Amino acid sequence: MPTYHDPLQDADEASEALRGLAHASRVFDNPADTYRVLGDLLSGVRSLRQVLDQLGSAHLVHRGRAHDDDGDQAIGASEALAAADDLHHAGTLLDDVEERVNAAMTHSGRIAWHTPAQEVGQEAVTAEAPRRWLSVVFLQGAEADEVLDLIDRDGPDAAIEHLRNWDYGEETTDAALENGYVYDEPPTGQLDRVVTDGDYTLTYNPFMGHVSLLRSHPMSGPDMDETDMVPAREATSGVGPLDARTPRNATTSTSTQAQQTSAGTDQDWFAGPARSFGPAGRGLSL
């Protein structure tokens, strides 16, 4: 997260973000995504231009404090002036970069990307076998903060790999189906961030302090009847996974409600049933 006041930390995070983008942009499964990336890069180039100007100004303003390794102030001031001149020249070159990226974005925005014929066939198969999303784990408070720190440090892929430890396969699937934690799409709030890796979808919100992992599941057979599915818009609006008329396993209901009452919190829209043998303190996970 940018600090907006610490240039050292923000520069470090900007460097890491660009490294991550360089890695992630090796392959674009959807070429239409390039337009959005170009827009973000254009904004980044403009910000970089401003940074170079400000770095040059800092060398000029503080050149009276500049010395070489032997303590010669005249040489130090001369080096500061040279650095400011080179930074100014670099910023001028970035004006051309900005112009070219802006032109490329304009051309890219005029492209209508069509889906290859073989992928159209695959989409037809997918349409015949729709999928739903099951809640694997929902964390908030201190536990969510640990995962949010992991995301800041190692990225969302590391968080998905970590939270997969709460997926017990068929047992998790059965618990989600039994308790109604099944959604037509991953429930997300306005400020939630969403990352998908294979069958798993990670949603997290560093502002509200919660993290969720869901797993996609084919909608087939009696276990995935439409009546057991909660529309994501209802889940995020607070309606919850079940209405008052929907039966629930009495034992699971009593255990979950008791934990929620003792914690003094309302039921979360994709919190799973409690596990007596899971990690301590994770009563909201499946």
pLDDT tens digits in sequence order for the chain, 286 residues long? 788 899 999 899 889 888 888 888 888 888 888 888 988 898 999 999 999 999 999 999 999 999 999 999 999 999 999 999 999 999 999 999 999 998 998 898 888 888 776 555 555 555 555 678 889 999 988 899 999 999 989 899 999 999 999 998 888 888 888 888 888 888 877 788 898 888 899 999 988 889 999 998 886 544 545 445 555 545 544 444 433 323 333 333 333 333 333 333 444 444 443 333 333 333 344 3
Q: Are residues 36 and 152 in the same domain?
A: no
Residue range(s) defining the domain that contains residue 232:
126-263
Distance CA 219, CA 172 (A): 16
Which of 84, 109, 134 is a domain's end point?
A: 109
Residue 218 region by backbone torsions, left for phi larger than 0, else alpha for psi between -120 and 50, else beta: beta
Q: Is residue 219 part of a domain?
A: yes
Q: Which residues of 66-76 are buried (b: 16+ CB within 10 A; e: fewer)?
A: beeeeeeeeeb
Q: Are 168 and 180 in contact (CB under 8 A)?
A: no
The pLDDT of residue 125 is 52
Amino acid identity of residue 262, one-letter, is S
Residue 166 has, within 13 A of its CA and on its CB side, a CA count of 32
Q: Is beta strand 200-205 parallel, antiparallel or unpaired with respect to 193-197?
A: antiparallel
Q: Is residue 283 part of a domain?
A: no
Q: Are residues 84 and 192 in the same domain?
A: no
CB-CB neighbours of 215 under 10 Å:
22
The pLDDT of residue 177 is 85
For the CA atoms of the chain, what is the radius of gyration?
Answer: 26
Q: Are residues 176 and 203 in the same domain?
A: yes
The pLDDT of residue 188 is 79
Residue 264 region by backbone torsions, left for phi larger than 0, else alpha for psi between -120 and 50, else beta: left
The pLDDT of residue 229 is 56
Q: Are residues 147 and 259 in the same domain?
A: yes
Q: Is residue 279 part of a domain?
A: no
Q: Is residue 120 part of a domain?
A: no
DSSP lists the bridge partners of residue 210 as 140, 205
Q: Are residues 163 and 229 in the same domain?
A: yes
Q: Is residue 12 part of a domain?
A: yes
Q: Are residues 155 and 211 in the same domain?
A: yes
Q: Is residue 205 part of a domain?
A: yes
Q: Is residue 217 part of a domain?
A: yes
Q: Are 284 and 181 in contact (CB under 8 A)?
A: no
Q: Are residues 219 and 137 in the same domain?
A: yes
Residue 62 has, within 13 A of its CA and on its CB side, a CA count of 10
The pLDDT of residue 259 is 35
Q: Are residues 102 and 149 in the same domain?
A: no
Q: Are residues 144 and 259 in the same domain?
A: yes
Q: Are residues 56 and 181 in the same domain?
A: no
Q: Are residues 100 and 161 in the same domain?
A: no
Q: Is residue 116 part of a domain?
A: no
Q: Are 13 and 2 in contact (CB under 8 A)?
A: yes
| Number of structural domains in the chain | 2
Q: Are residues 160 and 255 in the same domain?
A: yes
For the chain, how far is it from start to end, CA to CA, in angstroms? 30
